[in-house]
């Protein structure tokens, strides 16, 4: 059964642009895959603790030697990893916060980048283990960071996500960005702003072939 993992990370819910656009992706995906399954993971409604020394110690303890307490420490990470493994396709809504990804998304990334689970070292080189997956990032930014603009070098969202997902094996990545959302605070009509972005999201979802190299 085709499975889509849908993640959101904007705290703004009803007024969030990235949430509205990732929902449009899900709607389109469901139309095209009526027998598909969607796993929803709302990172603003998931309590993820920052990494601690005990957590790191648990990761580096062989599975069969872990204490019940260590297993418990890794249980959320195991659940989140299970979601990534079950899905073939990921869609991730990302608001730009302080030129980077929101902290809840970083906390999630810290839970899913795990040696032996999502990457290994082979002959001293890292090898990602999440193969055959595709990811669509739907990013909303208050300003505009298009290539060639003066602000382009301030965009740490796209290069970081491309690198970290590539590191765990997900190299088939698409970035759809709704830039300039701050105009909505100055009277720009929300529906008019969203229309071309919804269309771009729908077109991209329609073009997904289901299956990644
Ligand atoms: C805490 C916070 C930090 C932000 N930092 C930036 C920033 O560095 N650059 C920018 O262009 N917009 C910034 N913004 C504006 C958001 O990127 C913009 O509101 C975007 O629409 C957020 O996505 P959302 O609507 O899905 O929440 C910030 C907003 C918040 C709430």
- The residue written with tokens 């389109």 in the block is 28
Q: What is the mean pLDDT of the chain?
A: 96
| 5 three-class SS | strand
pLDDT digit string (tens) for 101-122?
999 999 999 999 999 999 999 9
The predicted model scores a pTM of 0.97
Tokens of 98: 């302080």
C-alpha to C-alpha distance for 157 and 109, rounded to whole angstroms: 13
Task: Tell me what pLDDT residue 6 has.
Answer: 98
* Ligand 1 atom with minimal separation from the 18 CA: 26
C-alpha to C-alpha distance for 106 and 199, rounded to whole angstroms: 29
b/e map of 187-201 (b: 16 or more CB within 10 Å)? Answer: eeeeeeebeebbebb
pLDDT digit string (tens) for 119-157?
999 999 999 999 999 999 999 999 999 999 999 999 999
* Ligand 1 atom with minimal separation from the 12 CA: 27
Q: Mean pLDDT over residues 29-50, rounded?
A: 97
What residues does ligand 1 touch, defined as CB less than 6 Å away? 10, 12, 16-19, 95-99, 140-143, 181
* Ligand 1 atom with minimal separation from the 15 CA: 25
Angle at 110 between CA 66 and CA 114, to 5 degrees: 50
pLDDT digit string (tens) for 84-94?
999 999 999 99
Ligand 1 pocket: which of 96, 138, 197 to mutate (most atoms within 8 A of CB):
96
Task: Tell me what pLDDT residue 213 has.
Answer: 59
- The residue written with tokens 């040696």 in the block is 115
Task: Tell me what pLDDT residue 171 has.
Answer: 97
The percent of residues in the chain predicted with pLDDT above 90, rounded, is 96
Residue minimizing CA distance to atom 2 of ligand 1: 97
Task: Tell me what pLDDT residue 64 has.
Answer: 97
CA of 157 to the centre of ligand 1 (A): 11
Task: Tell me what pLDDT residue 209 has.
Answer: 63
* Ligand 1 atom with minimal separation from the 100 CA: 8
b/e map of 13-38 (b: 16 or more CB within 10 Å)? Answer: eeebbbbbbbbbbbebbeeebeebeb
Asked if residues 7 and 91 have their Cβ atoms less than 8 Å apart, the reply is yes
Tell me phi and psi for residue 201, to 5 degrees: -65, -45
Q: Mean pLDDT over residues 37-43, rounded?
A: 98
Task: Tell me what pLDDT residue 210 has.
Answer: 58
Give Rg (Cα) of the chain.
Answer: 18
Tokens of 125: 């080189």
pLDDT digit string (tens) for 43-78?
999 999 999 999 999 999 999 999 999 999 999 999
CA of 96 to the centre of ligand 1 (A): 5
Task: Tell me what pLDDT residue 168 has.
Answer: 98
Partnered with residue 125 across adjacent β-strands are: 122
Alpha helices in the chain (DSSP H): 17-32, 53-59, 68-73, 75-86, 103-112, 157-167, 190-207
């Amino acid at each position: 059964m085709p499975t889509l993992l849908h993640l959101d990370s904007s705290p703004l819910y009803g007024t969030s642009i990235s949430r509205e656009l990732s929902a449009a992706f899900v709607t389109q995906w469901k139309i095209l895959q009526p027998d598909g399954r969607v796993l929803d993971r709302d990172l603003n409604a998931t309590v993820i603790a920052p990494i601690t020394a005990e957590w790191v110690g648990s990761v580096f303890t062989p599975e069969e030697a872990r204490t019940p307490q260590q297993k418990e420490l890794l249980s959320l990470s195991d659940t989140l990893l299970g979601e990534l493994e079950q899905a073939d396709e990921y869609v991730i809504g990302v608001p730009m916060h302080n030129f980077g990804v929101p902290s809840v998304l970083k906390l999630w990334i810290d839970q899913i980048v795990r040696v032996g689970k999502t990457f290994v070292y082979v002959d001293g080189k890292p090898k990602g283990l999440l193969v055959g997956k595709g990811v669509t990032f739907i990013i909303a930014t208050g300003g505009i960071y298009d290539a060639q603009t003066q602000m382009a070098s301030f965009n740490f969202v796209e290069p970081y996500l491309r690198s970290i997902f590539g590191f765990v094996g997900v190299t088939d990545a698409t970035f759809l960005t709704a830039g300039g959302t701050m105009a909505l605070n100055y009277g720009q009509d929300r529906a008019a702003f969203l229309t071309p972005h919804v269309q771009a999201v729908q077109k991209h979802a329609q073009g997904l072939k289901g299956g990644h190299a």
